[in-house]
Amino acid sequence: MYGFFYVNSYISRIILVEFLIHCAIINLFIMAQTTTFTPNWSFSKKLYFRLSFCYLALYIIPFPLGNLPFSNYPYMAVFNFWKWITTLVAENIFHIQNFKILFNGSGDKTSDYIKLLSIAGLALIITFFWSILDRKRNNYNKLLQFFLVALRYYLAYYMLSYGMSKLFTNQFSSLSLFDLVKTYGQSSPMGLMWNFMEYSDTYTIFSGISEIIGGVLLLFRRTTKLGALITFGVMLNVFLMNVSYDIPVKLFSFHLMLIAFYILIPHLKSLINYFLLNKPIPPVQYDKYFSKRRWNITALIFKILFITYTVVKFSIKQVEQQKQYGKFAALPALYGIYEVDKFTYNNNERLPLTTDSIRWKKLIIDKNSSLIINMDDTPKGVRHLVDSSNNALELTPYKKEMNYYYKFKYSKQDSILNLEGTYYQDTLKIRLIKQDHTQFPLLKRGFNWINEYPFNR
C-alpha cells in the first residue's frame, strides 16, 4: 500500500473507486445470502439480485464466445464494444489523453480498472430501469437457476484452464539458467514467486489438481456446493499470492473467488447449520431445468459436448506447449552457462576489469533467449540463432531500434567454447568455459526423507 498514491492521480481515483465498488459487492452478496429459491422475494432481495446479476453478467460476457468453435466473429464484436466503452470513459471522464489499451500479459492495467468501473456503472443504470419496469415480479427463481449454471460453467472453464496448465507444468515451466545466476535482490516479487513454483513440479501439479477437482465438481449440480467451496479456497490462496507478490492478475483472481462465493450464497444457511450449529440439513430437491423432455436431453447433450470439447482442447494445447516451450522443448546446441576466460577485442586482449564496458563476464544461452552479463554485472538480453550445421551463432537485440548484432563462428571441445566473429566493424575472439549448472545447490540438493540437520541456506 505504500505506493498507492504514488501513481498518477487519475489511477489513484480509479483504484479507490474500484475498491469501494468491490467492498459494496461483497457486502451485497453477504446481505443477499437468503436469496434462495422461494416463491416471494422481498424488494431488497430483488434489488440485490438485479444488481449482482447485471454486474457479473456484464463481467463474464463474452464468455463462452471465443472459446467455442466458429465464435470468433461475435467475440470480436463484443470485444470492440468494450474497447469503445473503456476508451470513451477514459478520455471523457478521467481525461486521459491518447488513451491506449495495451496487451502485454497484465490483467491489472489502467484500462482494466476503467473497464471494470464501466461495468459497474452500466450495471447500476440497467438495474435502475429494470427495477422500474419489472417491479411487480414476485421472484427471479428461474433466472437465478440458469444464471448460476452460467457462472458455474464460466468458473469451471477457467479452473480447468489454469489447472491443466499446472498439471502439464506449463504455467511455471522450469527454472531458467538466468534464474540460477541472478541474486534474490535482483528478482521482482513476481519473479521470486514464479521461481518458487517453478522449482517444484510436485507442488505445481498438486495445485493444478486442486483447481481441476474444483472445476469438475462445479459442472454437476449435486457436487456444486463442494466444488464452489474448493474453488473458493483455491482462489482465495491465488488472490492472496497475487496481492502479496504483486502479480498482475489481481482483478481476475478476485472475481473468480467472488463468483465461487456467489454460487455458494444459496447454500450458506445449510453450511452454517452443518458446520457451526450442528443442525440437520434437509436433502436438496433438484428440479428439471425444462418442462419438456427434449429440451432437457438437448441440455444434457450440450453439457457432454462442452465438457468433452473443453478437456480435449486444453489437453492438446498443453501437450503442444509442453513440447514447444515447456520441459520437453528442444534445447539449443549451445545451451548452458559460460564464464568468459579470455576476451580479445580488435586483436587486443581485455583484462577482466569491472570498469570495462566492452568485455563480457558471462554468456548464458537458454531455451528461447540469451543473456550477456558485462563485467559490472549489468545484463543485456539478446536473441540467439544457433546454426549447428555451419557452427554459426548470431546474437541480436530485442529492441528493433537497436541495430547491433554479434555474428560468430564457434568451435566446441568438451567444456571449452571458442567464438570468433564481429560486433559492428570490430573483431572479437572469446574463449568461454561452460559451467555445470546442475551443481547449483538448488538443483543438486533434491528431496530427502531424513534430515539430521536443516539444510537452510
What was the pLDDT predicted at 402? 66
Fold of 336-441: Lipocalin (2.40.128)
Does residue 40 or residue 284 have the better pLDDT? 40
Sign of CA dihedral 313, 209, 25, 108: negative
Q: Kindly report, residue by residue over 327-375, the tens digit of the pLDDT.
A: 888 888 899 999 999 999 999 999 999 999 999 999 999 988 899 999 9
In the chain, how long is the greatest CA-to-CA distance?
A: 90
Peptide bond into 62 cis (omega under 30): yes
Does residue 120 register a pLDDT over 50? yes
Q: What are phi and psi of 326, to 5 degrees?
A: -90, -150
Q: What is the mean pLDDT of the chain?
A: 88
Give the C-alpha separation, 263 to 42, whole Å: 20
CB 412 within 8 A of CB 331: no
Cell of 261: 462465493
- Looking at residues 439-449, what average pLDDT do you find? 90
Which stretch of 10-14, 55-59, 447-451 has the lowest confidence by average pLDDT?
10-14
Total count of residues recorded for the chain: 457
- Find cell 583484462 and name the residue: 351
Domain residue ranges of the chain, discontinuous segments joined by +: 9-324, 336-441
Report pTM: 0.87
Cell of 250: 489481481
Which stretch of 190-194, 284-288, 425-429 has the lowest confidence by average pLDDT?
284-288
Q: Which residues contact 197 (CB under 8 A, 6 or more apart)?
A: 171, 172, 203, 204, 207
Does residue 391 register a pLDDT over 60? yes
- Looking at residues 123-142, what average pLDDT do you find? 94
Q: Kindly report, residue by residue over 21-72, the tens digit of the pLDDT.
A: 566 555 555 544 444 567 889 999 999 999 999 999 999 998 888 877 888 8
- Looking at residues 289-307, what average pLDDT do you find? 89
Does residue 401 register a pLDDT over 80? no
For 354-369, the DSSP string reads: TT-SSSEEEEEE-SS-
- Looking at residues 63-90, what average pLDDT do you find? 88
Cα→Cα distances 272→265, 268, 277, Å: 11, 6, 6
Residue 139 three-state SS: coil
